[in-house]
Amino acid sequence: MTTKPEAQPKPSALGGQQLVNAAEVPDARQAPVRVAPIAPRRVPITGPNRPPLPREVKGGPFGTRVTTGFPDVALTFDDGPDPDWTPRILAQLRAYRIKATFCMIGLNAAQFPQLVRDIAADGHTLCNHSWSHDMGLGLRTAEWILQDMRRTNDAIRRAVPNAKISYYRQPGGAWTPGVVAAATRLGMSSLHWDVDPQDWRKPSASSISFTIISATRPGSIVLLHDGGGNRLGTATAMRSILPNLVGRFHLAALPPGVDPPRLFGRDLPLHAGQT
């Protein structure tokens, strides 16, 4: 016996909620709806309507990077690549001409090298997310941590030779000084986030959308997942997240460089192509 789906809260563009029947929510497994690309609108950085300056760039645990350092918003995707969900996420980003950052598990990169190539071919920034999503990695020896990170970078570069891997993200955000030091030694910035819808818990698409739409501000780094389980909720939520954020911010991949340059002790904007 089946029951009629219950109405679920859905965020509106104004940050409130409205009810939508669950049966009406698009299924990301169906044939994708053709969406006319929308040119991203760059947020003005001067003038009377200038947005507030982003929060401290390195305000995350142990000095990890928590904002972009400039008004651009960065979408990041963890735990892939995944043959079921990564292609869907890539197609959605492509429809809106958005570049993002993909934090890849080494095991998955080794198993699905073509997906790594697809991510790189679309111009997205590459990020190391450990070999096997070991949330206790930071408690291991310095040499163990280095070998884990190197092994992951090697898997990514077997798929994309000479790939620039500028960032490392610790699974579960379980940062330690040892992890940050190892990433720095290998030329990677430690990448945290400031918007987390906890989509890894598989909440409803409307919950994911509401959290991101209401919490994202200029300079935000948004945490999402394209792997690690069933990501139907994330893929469905992207249908409302992308048009909303594109209308309010300029979305860009984190630049493929290690850290923003500094002048008089302050981080300066680092845009795509700078290293």
CB 128 within 8 A of CB 103: yes
Catalytic, out of 124, 129, 192, 225: 225
The pairing of beta strand 262-263 with beta strand 266-267 = antiparallel
Active site residue 78: yes
Going by C-beta distance under 8 Å and a sequence separation of 6 or more, which residues neighbour residue 4? 23
> b/e string for 171-191 if b means 16 or more Cβ within 10 A?
beeebbebbbebbeebebbbb
Q: What are phi and psi of 169, to 5 degrees?
A: -125, 125
Active site residue 225: yes
User: Encoding tokens for residue 122?
Assistant: 């679309």
CB 216 within 8 A of CB 222: yes
Which helix (H) or strand (E) segment holds residue 126: the answer is strand 125-128
First to last CA, the chain: 59
Catalytic, out of 72, 78, 79, 267: 78
Which residues does the annotation mark as catalytic? 78, 225
